[in-house]
Amino acid sequence: MADDRTPAPTHRAAAERLHDDLLNELTPAEWRLVVSLVEALATSDEAECPVCRRQIDRVSLAEHLASCRDSSVTRTRRLEVVDANGRVRLLVGQLDHPPAPSTVGLALLDETGHERAVLSLEPEGPQLELTSQGHNTAVLLGVADPGGEVDANTYLVLFDHEATPAAAWRVNAAGKLLVFAASTETSGT
């Protein structure tokens, strides 16, 4: 006589295949989530999910893992997108810019790994920096927050090939436009 609590062999095999398929689909981050929750629930009746911070119990573990797995929010400190050769080409998150190592932003990198376009939130405010192939700053556009080191609310600076400011436009806190030009020479070339 069959035990009513034991699934029929065909159902058990199907359940095992589904279980194996699900485990093969888990990313390393999802595995860490599963492990942390199982470890926490091994010694306690409830645990806090590291993804959504909700309290869950042993009974709702599987359902909760599925809901977190399907979540439209991914949390990370830094995202690196690589090209077909494994070279980082896009950074999103902490950029490690001296002198402010906690600068956050988005950086596009060339094939040699140098940042060519960076949108960042610097200590003085947001800025966009474009660099030349020689890795010198070519264009700097930003907004300086009041009380910062720069006496301007908005600024645009153009640099020469040696990264020396060639021209700059700044609007100060009083709304006055300040213009700087390193040279007034004009050339037909």
How far is residue 143's CA from residue 157's CA, in Å, rounded to a whole number? 12
Question: What is the pLDDT confidence band of residue 133, given thresholds at 50, 70 and 90?
Answer: confident
Q: What residues pair up with 126 in beta bridges, in sequence order?
A: 121
> Which residues have CB under 8 Å from 186's CB, separation 6+?
none
Residue 172 is predicted with a pLDDT of 80
Residue 112 CA from chain centroid, whole number: 21
HEC string for 97-138: ECCECCCEEEEEECCCCCEEEEEEEECCEEEEEEECCCCCEE
Q: Are strands 125-131 and 115-122 parallel, antiparallel or unpaired?
A: antiparallel
Q: What is the model's pLDDT at position 8?
A: 44
d(C-alpha 180, C-alpha 99), whole Å:
26
CA quadruple 173, 174, 179, 180: dihedral sign: negative
Global confidence as pTM:
0.57
Which residue has better confidence, 67 or 10? 67
pLDDT in tens, 33-74: 777 777 777 777 777 776 666 777 766 666 666 666 555 666
Place of tokens 């050769």: 85
Dihedral of alpha carbons 107, 109, 114, 116, sign: negative
* Interstrand relation of 137-143 and 78-82 (parallel, antiparallel or unpaired): unpaired
